[in-house]
Amino acid sequence: MIENIRIRNFRGIRDCSLSGMKQINLFLGRNNCGKSSVLDALFLFSGATNPRLPLTINWARNYMNQGPESLKMNFYGLNTESVISLVGQYKATRRDVEISYKETFSPTLSMPTAKDIHPKDDKIYSLNVKTRITPIADSSQIKEYDTSIQLEKVTGKTAQVKDADSSYKEELSCRYITANEPNSNSLKQFATLLEDKQENFVFDMLRKVEPRLKDIVSTDDGLLADVGMEKRIPIQFLGDGIRRLLSVVLHIHESKNGILLIDEVDNGLHYSAMSVLWETILETAVQTGTQVFVTTHSLESLKGLASVLDAKGSKYQDLVSVFKLIKRPTDELIGLKYDYEQFDYSIRQEMEMR
């Protein structure tokens, strides 16, 4: 599990240090304070040797530009002179990630034609990712990886991707449910759930939102739900809440012994379902050994979490860290950490935490 991280020169964050992370981690704060950017940074950190990820997080925000400008979007103030730095600890390992931007001239020259007398841009634009992985107990065993992705302005297509050595195996398996992602319910994810005999637990949780639900089956065309009608109906025809809840639990189950990031976790859910949402997240994360990071700015969501933790007791209370993110005028992002007692007191006293 990730225990701490320091983020520098990333998006709107000049500097941010977060420590004391646990199995369930909740980020809250005002709009545009940097909650989603923290999740994006964790995503890059977890797949540090994959140079495609900086573009992947752009696409998740519906920024589909595939030209050289897309390589600059994640730098603080769009200043490519400042290196993006992600430093953190997981298990007994330290990981240092540096992402830099570079422009070089192409080794080939595009000759103008009679119809195109203007000189072409023959530069190659690249993101270079340098990753150092160091066992804390023995710093002499440091391993370094240099990867990159290159784009040509003329074509806007990937010119070259340099991956890590084939012997490298990523230790941090991470999945990401973005705020813009539809409530997808993958057949493959559902099949894995059935294989592990976890469907009854999931159905019990879903029935707290849709009491008529009897079961869900998979077909070549998708998932079908039995809600007491003459025929099973496609899951898409159920409400947003039950589809969101199913999507979350399937992703957690798929992320077994890994990491799951969920932006705006309560999207599509009525306030009355918040306790069910958090009970599902807690129970499924414990069953699968998944570390979960989520964002919210919903007071009802916070109250739902507090209610579940109060009912579950110390076994679950000790698994949760809550971070209130505050952005200073200097673009330093401060993470005020609440343990369970502080979080519960703030909710009971109706103190503003968001």
For 39-99, the three-class secondary structure string (H helix, E strand, C coil) is: HHHHHHHHCCCCCCHHHHHHHHCCCCCCCHHHHCCCEHHHCCCCCEEEEEEECCEEEEEEE
Q: Output phi, psi for 45, to 5 deg.
A: -60, -40
The reported pLDDT for the residue numbered 109 is 60
Please list, residue by residue across 52-62, b when 16 or more beta carbons sit within 10 angstroms of its beta carbon and e when fewer do: ebbbebbebee
**Partners of 334 in the beta sheet?**
326
Alpha carbons 333 and 328: distance in angstroms, whole number: 6
Alpha carbons 330 and 33: distance in angstroms, whole number: 12
SS3 236: helix
The reported pLDDT for the residue numbered 85 is 98
Please list, residue by residue across 215-254, b when 16 or more beta carbons sit within 10 angstroms of its beta carbon and e when fewer do: ebebeeeebbbebeeeebeebeebeebbbbbbbbbbbbbb
Alpha carbons 199 and 187: distance in angstroms, whole number: 13
One DSSP character per residue, 152-190 reads: ETTT-SEEEEEPPPTT---S--EEEE-TTS-----HHHH
Alpha carbons 271 and 110: distance in angstroms, whole number: 59
Burial of 148 (0-12, 13-18, 19+ CB in 10 A): middle
CATH 3.40.50.300 domain span(s) along the chain: 175-348
Nearest residue to 233 via CA among 251, 249, 248, 213: 213
Alpha carbons 129 and 78: distance in angstroms, whole number: 17
The reported pLDDT for the residue numbered 114 is 60
Match 């009897």 to its residue by tokens.
214
The reported pLDDT for the residue numbered 240 is 81
Q: Which spans in the chain are helix H?
A: 35-46, 53-60, 187-195, 199-207, 240-254, 274-288, 299-312, 314-317, 340-348
pLDDT along the chain (354 residues), means of 10: 97 96 94 92 94 88 78 93 96 95 76 59 86 91 92 65 86 89 80 90 89 92 92 89 89 94 89 91 94 93 94 92 95 94 86 66
Alpha carbons 2 and 91: distance in angstroms, whole number: 7
Q: Output phi, psi for 144, to 5 deg.
A: -120, 140
Domain 175-348 maps to which CATH number in 3.20.10.10, 3.40.50.880, 1.10.3720.10, 3.40.50.300?
3.40.50.300
What's the DSSP call for residue 75? B
Match 């964790």 to its residue by tokens.
42
Alpha carbons 290 and 284: distance in angstroms, whole number: 8
Q: What angle do CA 70, 264, 189 make, to 5 degrees?
A: 85
The reported pLDDT for the residue numbered 27 is 96
The total of other beta-carbon atoms located within 10 Å of residue 70's CB is 19
137 and 92 Cβ atoms separated by less than 8 Å: yes
Alpha carbons 145 and 61: distance in angstroms, whole number: 28
Nearest residue to 124 via CA among 92, 97, 155: 155
